[in-house]
A and B are shown apart, each in its own frame.
Chain A
């Protein structure tokens, strides 16, 4: 709890940091454009990403063999290789090495692994000065901070702040002029490099074939650090190893483009074995063979490598593009994530390098929007891995008491759950005048104190079924509608629209009364057992009616029902049933678009309202549905005006939108501004979670614009006819 309080405090501080907000805001606007441009001459991006992913998958599958070869080849060429189990191992080895060689001054070029194990303070304590030579790293070190971004460590600081740190360090007035400051840094740091006894570098890759390490840099400091001092120490994590020299090309095709939107950085350097150095002996320069030490750092990496799911983190090349597009990171920056690895991938890496305790704090900062997956060159399923970590965490430690009680006793007990929802509609305490949280109404209401969300409807959809069901004699199809909590209890009118649209196509629509919550909020918190219980009940209710198809008008429900097959696959009784359900579930828009097309109704018409469409993260990026809703809107005669960043998260994602309202709100605000700019009368989406969020935002900030589900628009069109 203490940790949670600190995190919230830090979040609200970051949200107030104008410099940070401004820098990240501008950057997140510029990055996608710059990235796209950098890939223009690269050929098929998907093929490049697949190639990287596959190469890394093949490597991690035989990581020991690759590491052995790397060690053997590097040793053969004269390097000394040391394998460090953890940070302590590494630090001891290094300090010992410094002692033996009389090293007092070290210069470093960027090494995330060194940051990860807090190397500098340890060296400092041993009487060794280590100076960062990468400009950003140096600035952050002078500021006494940690990097806030994997590629741009000082992105959170303004030139004015940098000038202050410089003035203090250099003991002279340094003006906040960027070119001047860069020159001042050059002068100061060059002196340090020339005097250093040892250079420490990281590595972007290590090649098993010839024991080489590769460095991808822009400033030239890595070339100096690896060239000038007589001893060179490389700190490299196991995940950086690749089998062959040619595999480096696979990385280099994407890394600079994704990381800095460059086709290539100023310097790519590959070093195999010690090379000569120039050393001053008795006032004279002599050429000597350098000492080259390579420290292979484990620190949790090999455990990940042997984990069926988490070996995926070996596909990460630390390009940080996942941060650059992440709606949460781009609001609050990297410091909030506690350690040096920020963003969603940071939370996962932190779990392995620093332990689960650290992960617990930051995992909630991923809202599962999946934007990162569209850019990650290694194609890592970041939100999927986070969910998996949550599941494991719950298995190990159980849920917090209140949440467990809620899930086990209430959400999985449909009758109780629904009567509570009904109670909420009459505005009883403790439900605070009908506040609702996406997918998991009420029980977390205590967490919802910062906002008001749409009220529970007076009459849920399940009570309206008799009125809205049309008797159809010879139906073309029998459809079961899975409403999900939100449509059932908050947006029953949308449920009515779904009935209307389907019945209009001569389909019989059934509403299995035994259906309950889809289970998403429960699994999202890592509670697998309760989710299974919920799944079995839903399957039972749905299959009793033996429908031809099952329709959900919410991507999350669709996904959850589809996932039942995997969830129950080891259950001999329920496994096959779950499979049947999973095969029948269809998302509303894509299903209706298909049926409209069959009936020749999926053609553009005119005369409808001016609308704009918001892509739900899960609808677009999980289910891959983004054209169909638009086609349907145009078929209904709407004038569709695209908003900016239509597929950017609206900020409502499960518990996050509620618990971190302060974070969710600015994300929503951007969305509302983009809607406003279109001049549309109606904002449309096809996800009940987004509806909750957008409705709330529109009510407050843009009352003239209404919010509707695609089904509502289609139903209105039918009525007009």
Chain B
């Protein structure tokens, strides 16, 4: 399986990154209609996700695992909530289009723009992020870099091949009469669950 190519976590902390940038990141992400939930630990992360699931009445979810999700037991929590969860790439391919929610992990956030950086080398990641109407990502809240330039300092060290990018709020258009409309091709809701506690034992 062609998974995430780079252990991006090895870059953190950088000289300028840190949770002190989180307030700016949060403000910018919210300014572009992103939903931001900063939580102290795995338990709170799980509860936040379940609230989102209940909020949209999700029945079906496609999930690509990440260390934060595993630590919080997201997949199991979803299942025990009665949500059908798909985690295998072939299943994700078959069901992403009809799922209510897509869940994945992202590597870091950018304070200047409120963006998150994600390695989408794995096809499953891309399907999960683009097809369902609600996309939820998990982010270590200390992994925030100040700006685009710093983000590219990291990217240029690690991006050799594959599919990477920033996601900044939900999908949007202003193509008809310049009226901003959220949710065109991609998700109409984009939520970031930022976790303060780093998962134990994982590579992170």
Contacts and interface: CB of A to CB of B under 8 A. Distances in A.
Interface of A: 23, 26-27, 41-42, 77, 133-136, 139, 152-155, 157-159, 162, 178-179, 181-183, 185-186, 189-190, 193-194, 209-210, 212, 218-221, 223-224, 226-227, 244-246, 248-249, 252-253, 260, 262-273, 275-278, 284-287
30 contacts: A42-B112, A135-B173, A139-B176, A155-B178, A158-B177, A182-B176, A182-B183, A186-B184, A210-B159, A219-B171, A219-B173, A219-B185, A220-B186, A227-B123, A227-B163, A245-B152, A264-B110, A267-B167, A267-B168, A268-B165, A269-B165, A270-B163, A272-B159, A273-B161, A273-B162, A275-B121, A275-B123, A277-B123, A285-B90, A287-B89
A2 B176 CA distance: 35
Given A219-B171, A285-B93, 14 more contacts: A139-B175, A159-B179, A194-B97, A220-B130, A244-B156, A252-B148, A260-B174, A266-B169, A267-B166, A267-B186, A268-B165, A269-B163, A278-B127, A287-B123
Given A23-B178, A285-B94, A263 B28 contact: yes
Interface string B93-129: 1100100000000000010111100001111001101
**Which label, helix, strand, loop or mixed, suits the secondary structure of the A interface?**
mixed
Contacts of A193: 185
Contacts of B176: 135, 139, 154, 157, 159, 162, 178, 181-182
A136 B184 contact: no
Contacts of B174: 152, 218, 260
Nearest to A154: B175
A223 B130 contact: yes
Interface pairs A-B: 9 shortest CB-CB? A220-B186, A136-B175, A278-B93, A249-B152, A264-B113, A245-B156, A220-B171, A220-B185, A269-B165
B170 interface: yes
B174 to A, nearest CB: 7
B21 interface: no
A418 B177 CA distance: 53
A272 B159 CA distance: 8
Interface of B: 1-2, 28, 32, 89-90, 93-94, 97, 110, 112-115, 120-123, 126-127, 129-131, 148-149, 151-153, 155-156, 159-179, 181, 183-187
A133 B123 contact: no
B184 A270 contact: no
Given A152-B174, A264-B113, A270 B164 contact: yes
B161 A210 contact: yes
Contact of B162 (A41, A136, A252, A275): A275
Most A CB contacts (10 A, CB to CB) among B114, B126, B152, B177 go to B177
A320 to B, nearest CB: 13
A41 B28 CA distance: 11
A224 B175 contact: no
Contacts of B93: 278, 285
Contacts of A227: 123, 126-127, 130, 163
Given A181-B176, A220-B171, A267-B167, A272 B161 contact: yes
Nearest to B166: A268
A287 B168 contact: no
A270 B159 contact: yes
A414 to B, nearest CB: 53
Contact of B175 (A27, A153, A249): A153
Contacts of A134: 175
Nearest to A26: B178
B148 A224 contact: no
A263 B184 contact: no
Contacts of B151: 249
Nearest to B135: A220
Contacts of B130: 220, 223-224, 227
Nearest to A43: B147
A41 B112 contact: yes
Nearest to B184: A219
A496 B150 CA distance: 61
Given A135-B176, A139-B176, A278-B93, A267 B123 contact: no
A357 to B, nearest CB: 32
A185 B181 CA distance: 12
A263 B114 contact: yes
Contacts of A286: 90
B90 A278 contact: yes
Contacts of B149: 249, 253
Given A133-B185, A152-B175, A253-B149, A276 B2 contact: yes
A55 to B, nearest CB: 13
Contacts of B114: 263-264
Contacts of A265: 168
Nearest to A140: B175
A270 B152 CA distance: 12
B167 to A, nearest CB: 6
A397 B122 CA distance: 57
